[in-house]
Amino acid sequence: MASCKIWNKEMAYEFSLYRRILWPLGSWPLDHDRNFAKFRALFIIITQTIMVLYISIGYNKDAMLSIIVDQFVLAACGILTIVKITLIRLHRDDLLKNLRNAAKNWTCIARQDHRQVMLRYTNLGRRVFFFQIGSSYVVIVPLIAGSLLSFATSPSLQNVTKSEEQMQLPHEMTCPSNVPVVCYGIYVLQTVQLISTATGNVGSDVFLFGVCMHLCGQLEVLSLELLRFHAGKKNHYWNRMKMIALIERHCLLLNLAKDIVDALDTILVAQLVLHASLICLIGLQLIVSLAVHDFVLVGRSIMSFNILMIQLFLYSYMGETLSSKTQAISNAVYLSEWYDLPTNIVRDIYFIIARANAPVRIRAGKFYIIDLNSFKNILKASVSYFSVLQIMFIQ
pLDDT in tens, 172-212: 566 666 667 777 888 888 888 889 998 999 999 999 999 99
Residue 248: burial class (beta carbons within 10 Å; 0-12, 13-18, 19+): exposed
Residue 2, in any domain of the structure: no
Higher pLDDT, 363 or 149: 363
Residue 28, in any domain of the structure: yes
Q: Is 99 left (phi over 0), alpha (psi -120 to 50) or beta?
A: alpha
Residue 102, in any domain of the structure: yes
Q: Where are the beta strands (DSSP E) in 293-354?
A: none
Residue 92, in any domain of the structure: yes
User: Which residues 6+ apart lie within 8 Å of 351 measured at CB?
Assistant: 247
- Kindly report the average pLDDT of the chain as a whole number: 83
Kindly tell me if the per-residue pLDDT of 4 is higher than 50.
Answer: no
Tell me the CA distances in angstroms from 56 to 71, 177, 283, one per residue in order: 9, 20, 21
Q: Say how far apart CA 356 and CA 333 lie, in whole Å.
A: 10
HSE, side-chain direction, 13 A CA sphere, residue 374: 20
Q: Which residues pair with 369 in a beta bridge?
A: 363
Q: Domain range holding 264? A: 9-394
Residue 296, in any domain of the structure: yes
Q: Give the model's confidence band at 299: pLDDT under 50 very low, under 70 low, under 90 confident, else very high.
A: confident
Rg (CA), the chain: 25
User: Which residues 6+ apart lie within 8 Å of 21 measured at CB?
Assistant: 133, 199, 203, 206, 207
The pLDDT value given to residue 322: 93
The DSSP code sequence of 294-361 is -HHHHHHHHHHHHHHHHHHHHHHHHHHHHHHHHHHHHHHHHTSSGGGS-HHHHHHHHHHHHHHTS---
Q: Which of 102, 137, 91, 340 is CA-nearest to residue 230?
A: 340
Residue 3, in any domain of the structure: no
Residue 86, in any domain of the structure: yes
HSE, side-chain direction, 13 A CA sphere, residue 151: 20
The pLDDT value given to residue 302: 81
Q: Which of 10, 216, 17 is CA-nearest to residue 119?
A: 10
Q: Are 368 and 272 in contact, with CB atoms under 8 Å apart?
A: yes
The pLDDT value given to residue 144: 79
What is the DSSP code (8-state) at residue 365? T
Q: Is the entire prediction scored with pTM above 0.85?
A: yes
User: Which residues 6+ apart lie within 8 Å of 204 measured at CB?
Assistant: 22, 25, 27, 81, 84, 85, 88, 267
Q: What is the pLDDT of residues 241-278, one digit of tens each?
A: 888 889 999 999 999 999 999 999 999 999 998 888 88
Q: Are 102 and 18 in contact, with CB atoms under 8 Å apart?
A: no
The pLDDT value given to residue 204: 92
Domain count for the chain: 1
Q: Are 285 and 69 in contact, with CB atoms under 8 Å apart?
A: yes
Residue 105, in any domain of the structure: yes
What is the DSSP code (8-state) at residue 368? E
Q: Are 212 and 95 in contact, with CB atoms under 8 Å apart?
A: no
